[in-house]
């Protein structure tokens, strides 16, 4: 039952991630452009160049703000990562508890180490 819940939650997170993939790409591009504009703004030596780069920077910031829903996609990607880790973790626990020979091997090796 736990795997079914993880599967449903993972499916919903995957759909949300795929839905927000376009805004995520646009946000990444606008942030890269904003980084370049900031570097050029800092290097500018005249007031005119600083005003021009500042104006371009404001335009890019507004484009970045319009892609804020992409944060939901990033959260969905993180949820998928956590579900993937939980899915593999639960399999390891089930294998350890169901196999009596594995626990016997562990106990036997512990007994041999004590001698």
Question: How far is Cα 64 from Cα 38, in angstroms, rounded to an integer?
Answer: 14
Count of CB atoms situated within 10 Å of the CB of 76:
22
CB 9 within 8 A of CB 69: no
Each residue's pLDDT expressed in tens, for the chain with a length of 115 residues: 688 888 888 899 999 989 999 999 999 999 999 999 999 999 999 999 999 999 999 999 998 888 888 889 899 999 999 998 888 775 555 555 566 666 777 777 777 786 6
- Name the residue with tokens 């376009």: 22
pTM to 2 decimals? 0.63
Short-list 86, 79, 85, 82, CA closest to 20: 79
């Amino acid at each position: 039952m736990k795997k079914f819940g993880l599967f449903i939650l993972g499916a919903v997170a995957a759909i949300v991630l795929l839905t927000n993939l376009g805004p995520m790409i646009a946000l990444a591009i606008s942030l890269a452009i904003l980084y370049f504009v900031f570097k050029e703004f800092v290097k500018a030596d005249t007031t005119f160049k600083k005003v021009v780069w500042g104006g371009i920077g404001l335009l890019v910031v507004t484009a970045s703000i319009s892609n804020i829903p992409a944060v939901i996609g990033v959260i969905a990607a993180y949820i998928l990562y956590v579900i993937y880790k939980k899915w593999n973790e639960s399999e390891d626990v089930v294998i350890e508890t169901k196999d009596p020979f594995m626990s016997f091997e562990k106990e036997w090796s512990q007994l041999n180490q004590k001698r």
